[in-house]
Structure formats: structure tokens, C-alpha cells
Chain A
Amino acid sequence: MFVLVVGGGKVGYYLAKELIDSGHEVALMEKDPGRARQIADEIGSIVIAHDGCEGKYLGEAGCNRADVVAAVTGDDEDNLVICQMAKHHFDVPRTIARVNNPKNEALFRHLGVDELISPTRMILGSIEQDIPVHELLHLAALGEGELELIEAHLQAGSPAIGRAPRDLDIPDGCSLFAVIRGGVASPLRPESVLREGDKVIAIGKQECQAMLHGQLIGDPETATAG
């Protein structure tokens, strides 16, 4: 495959290097002559010291015969234009853009960029996955603040799985009233059997929460025990 990489920062440099090691034909465009020379010294004469946003230089770099164009500069607008020029002017079958501002993803996709890589989004996703989700989620405070609207996500180990609300020890002053299953919300009846993955919506007094937690989420110790 012939891959045209635009942007000789850290991402572009390592990308080009890896691609060459995997046996692909690579051209790397970097507009800063100093940086271009530095990369050329290290990985050979595949570097074109020109601005990859400029149509003329894209053409000279062989954009019209590229199988893939990867726009990995640090500027979203540059990456967008490189991909659009590659796509619409040079008929490149596959364009990949690095997107720094996650808000730009929708626009880029809409404007025809084939694939988007958003480091910001990926790191964000990774951080969010690490946040423990086996907790009650407080959705809102009701009344004078003494009541809370709560969501419990039933995950493996929850004592409520396979049981119905009438079999659970729900504290007084607390009501389980809805269940969200597969994105669909429905009223939770006393006899509805709960499944793993369900999200149970409850209203209760603040002091009921510990008990609700034990019934719907389970304690780590008791969960593994039974």
C-alpha cells in the first residue's frame, strides 16, 4: 500500500516509521524544513518538506495514487482540508484524520472524512471506564431535598438479579418504580424479574440508601460469597 502521511510531529513520525517497518510505501509531508530534515536523516528520503495543505504539493507527493492519506497534524482545520482535498480532488479511497477537538468529529464525518482518530476522546473514554460504576447514581433531589431519585445499574454479583421487587427487602419510604432495559423504560411491577444489565430507577429517603445499595448493588464480600 502507498500511504501518504501529512504532519511530521510525533504521531506522523512514528506512524511513518511503523508503516515502513511493515513494508508499506510511505511519503511523509512536513512543512517545517528543519523538522523535515531531521526526520529524513533518521528514516530516509521519504520526507517532502512542503505544506501538505497546498494542493500543488499534495499532487507532487503522489496524492492521486495514494491508497490511504493520514492527516495527523496538530491542527484540526488542516487535517480536515488535507482529507477533503485528498478525497474530492485526488480521489483517494481512504482518508484518516486526527481530531483534537472532539466537538469537530461530527462535522468531519459529515464532510466525508472516512475515519477519525480522536486522542482526546480516547483518553476521555479510558478515564471514564476506570470510574467505578457499581454505585448508586444520584439523578436528582426531590421535594425539600429529603428524597432522592436514584439509578442502580445491576451488574454481575447484584443480589437483585433473577429476583422480583416483591422478593427484595426494600426499605420503607422507598419505591422502585421503573426499569430501563435495552434503552427502553418500563414500569417496574412487583413481580417483574430483574436481569443483569437492568437499570432500576428508585425514589427514596436519603437514609434508605445504604439498604438500597445492599439490595440492588450488593457488597463486594457478600456478592462473591453468594
Chain B
Amino acid sequence: MKIVIVGCGRVGASAAETWDAAGHEIIVLDISTSAFERLPSGFGGVAIRGDGTDEDVLRRAGAEGADIFLAVTEGDNRNVMSAQLAVEALAVPKVIAKINDPLRAAAYAELGIATLCRTGLMVDAVNDHLGLPASGLSGMLAPTGTHPGGSHHRTPGAAKAGTAAPVPTTSDVEAAPSAAVEA
């Protein structure tokens, strides 16, 4: 599979290393070349310095036709914008954005992006270890709604997830009926 990773921090670099070793085609972007030092010496993928929130940069990097797009920079909003570009402009079928703010993570899952929230994941990992009940915070959320872009913006009262007109390029990720919180 062709996998694009935006942000070569610990998470991005580790994912790149694992999936490269598994034989996938990896393109990893970061705005700083020094971030690529985290990649192993035998890394077989492509590492490109560039801004993952810039559509032109993503296209030049070869992100078109990717099967999976993972936005894991340290900025929640950069990840959101990058992920939405991947959905809207590049029509990537599976898009995941790291969003550490649990509220924002839940909101964007409703808008059609799978979200990964460190806050919820860590709190619940600790709860699990201690035998305490799960927090209910978002961890890894599957998209539950459709991406905006339809005409529903004019009816704010009914604008919650699920009422959006389907956008054909959105995603082939099946909408999960409820948020799957990992414990």
C-alpha cells in the first residue's frame, strides 16, 4: 500500500519504520530535515521536506493515489488541515489525523476524519493498567459522519454529523455507528 505520513516525530517515524519494513510504499513529510534523523539508516521510503498543509507540496511529494494518509505533526490544526486536504483534494480513502484535544477529536470524527487522541489513549491506558473504569475520552475514533462541503451549512440547527449530503470523494471507510474508544 502507498502510505503518506505528515510529521516525522516519534509517532510518524516509528510508523514509517514499521510499515516500510512490512513492505509498504512510504512517503514521509516534515518541515524540518533534522526530523528525518529519527528514521532508520536502512529506510526504504521517501522523506521530503515540506509543509503538509500545502496542497501543491503534497501533490509534488506524490501523495496522490495514496491508500492511507496519516497526519501526525505536533500541531492539532495542522493535522486537521492536512487531513482535510487529503480527503478533499487528493481523495485518499483512509485518512487519520492526530488531534490531542478530545473535543476537537470528537468533532472531526463527526466530520468524516478518523482521529487519534493521545489524551484519551493515555488516560485510558493508565486506567486499564490500574483496573479503573475507562474515562470515556476519545482515543482512536472512526469517522462517524460525512465530510462537510454539502449544502447543510445553511441550516445550523440540523448541521450535526450525519445530515450532510454525501460527498462521493469522501471516504470508503465505513462509518462506525459509535465511537470506538480504545481502553
Contacts and interface: CB of A to CB of B under 8 A. Distances in A.
A107 B80 contact: no
A55 B77 contact: no
Contacts, number: 81
A101 B104 CA distance: 24
Contacts of A78: 77
B101 interface: yes
Query: What's the dominant secondary structure at chain B's contact region?
Result: helix
B46 interface: no
A85 B105 CA distance: 10
Interface in A60-99: 75-78, 80-81, 84-85, 87-89, 91-93
Interface string A154-178: 0000000000000000000000000
B74 interface: no
A76 B156 contact: no
Contacts of B108: 84
Interface in A94-144: 101, 103, 107, 110-112, 114
B159 A85 contact: no
A207 interface: no
Contact of A81 (B88, B104, B149): B104
B24 interface: no
Interface string B139-176: 00000000011000100110111000000000000000
B181 interface: no
A186 B94 CA distance: 47
6 contacts: A53-B77, A55-B103, A76-B53, A84-B148, A107-B88, A111-B84
Interface in B106-164: 107-108, 110-111, 148-149, 153, 156-157, 159-161
A187 B75 CA distance: 56
Given A87-B153, A88-B159, A77 B77 contact: yes
A61 to B, nearest CB: 13
A89 B107 contact: yes
- The 4 lowest CB-CB distance pairs between A and B, nearest first, are A55-B103, A77-B81, A77-B77, A81-B77
Contacts of B75: 77
Interface string B5-21: 00000000000000000
A54 B149 contact: no
Contacts of A59: 103
Given A93-B156, A112-B153, A80 B110 contact: no
